[in-house]
Amino acid sequence: MQDIFKTSSVHLTTALGRVGADPSRLMTIREWWYEMDEPVAMLADPHATFREDERNMIEQCRRDGINIASTRCEHLAYRDDERAAFPAWRLAMFYANP
């Protein structure tokens, strides 16, 4: 008997596929925007947008009792700045319903 059901590897290249591959992976807001191929170049001030989204995410996570982590972002233009890192599944929910 031939197996006619094949699982496509394409699902890992979609935003939800990447989140589903490791939903508890911690990501910063900036990392999310770049990994999900969001139109960063269209933002008037990406740094301000990332900061605002981060503040909103921190507030929502605290309200919902979700732990957040802190990470050093030495590769960014604002060196030695601490950034909050969130579970990928929570970022997906945030950007689905901001």
Judge whether 43 lies within some domain.
yes
Q: Which domain holds residue 87?
A: 22-96
Q: Total structural domains in the chain?
A: 1
Angle at the Cα of 46 (from 40 to 47), degrees rounded to 5?
A: 145
Scan for tokens 């909050």, then name that residue.
84
**pLDDT, tens digit (0-9, with 9 covering 90-100), for 52-98:** 999 999 999 889 988 888 765 444 444 445 688 999 999 999 998 75
**pLDDT, tens digit (0-9, with 9 covering 90-100), for 34-46:** 988 889 999 999 9
Distance CA 24, CA 37 (A): 20
Judge whether 50 lies within some domain.
yes
Judge whether 12 lies within some domain.
no
